[in-house]
Structure 1
Amino acid sequence: MSANDNSSTAAAGAPAQDINYTVRYPNQRAVFPYIDPKKAPAELAQALKVLPFERNVLKLLAHAEGFFPPISQLLGTIFRITRELPTLEWQLVVLRTAALIGAHYVFEINTPVALVNGMPNAKRLLIAFGKVDDTEFFTVRDRILLRYVKELVEDNTASDGLLEELRANFTTREIIEVIVIVGLYTIFGRVANVSRIDEDPEIPGLLDSLTKLTGQKDRGE
Structure 2
Amino acid sequence: MARIPYVDETTNPELAPAIGRIRAERRGKLIPVYGLLLHSPAIAEEWLAFINAVRWKTQLGARLREIVILRVAVLNHASYVVDVHRQHFTGKDGLDDAACDALLADTVDSDAFSPTEHAVIAYVDALTREAQVPDAVFARLRPKFDTRQIVELSVLIGAYNMHTRVLNALRIDPE
* Interval of TM-score (by shorter of Structure 1 and Structure 2): 0.7 to 0.9
CA 1:36/1:187 → structure 2, altered by over 3 Å: closer, same or farther? farther
Cα distance in 2 for partners of 1:185, 1:43 equals 26
Q: 5+ residue gaps in structure 2?
A: none
- Residue matched to 1:31: 3
Q: Corresponding residue for 1:140?
A: 115
Could you tell me which of 12, 15, 28 is aligned with 1:41? 15
Q: Is the 8 A contact 1:47 1:72 kept in 2?
A: no
The amino acid of 1:119's aligned partner reads L
Per residue, is there more helix in 1 or in 2?
2
Aligned CA RMSD, in angstroms, stands at 1.9
Partner SS for 1:174: helix
Residue pair 1:31, 1:196 contacting (<8 A) in 2 also: yes
**Contact residue 102 and residue 109 of structure 2 kept, 8 A:** no
Query: What's the counterpart of residue 88 of structure 1?
Result: 63
Query: Aligned partners of 1:91, 1:133: CA distance in 2, in Å?
Result: 17
Q: How does 1:188-203 map to 2 (within 5 A)?
A: 188-200=163-175
TM-score (norm 1): 0.70
How many matched pairs?
Answer: 170
User: For 1:90 and 1:48, how far apart are their aligned partners in 2?
Assistant: 21
Secondary structure of residue in 2 paired with 1:53: coil
Q: Which runs of 5+ in 1 are unaligned?
A: 1-28, 201-221
Q: Who is 1:56 aligned against?
A: 32
Partner letter of residue 46 of structure 2? Answer: P
Aligned residue number for residue 163 of structure 1: 138
Is the aligned partner of 1:70 residue 2:46? Answer: yes
Q: Alpha carbons of 1:189 and 1:172: their partners in 2 closer, same or farther (altered >3 Å)?
A: same
Mapped to 2, the partners of 1:114 and 1:174 lie a distance apart of 23
Q: Go from structure 1 to structure 2 and tell me whether the alpha carbon gap of 1:120 and 1:199 turns closer, same or farther (over 3 Å shift).
A: same
Q: Does 1:180 align with 2:152?
A: no
Structure of higher RCO (CA pairs closer than 8 Å, 6+ residues apart): 2
What's the TM-score, normalizing by structure 2? 0.87
Alpha-carbon deviation of 1:40?
4.7
State the Cα distance separating 1:64 from its structure 2 match: 3.1
Residues 106/40 of structure 1: CA separation in 2 closer, same or farther (3 Å cut)? farther
Stretches (4+) displaced over 6 A = none
Q: 1:40 to 1:118 in 2, by over 3 A?
A: farther
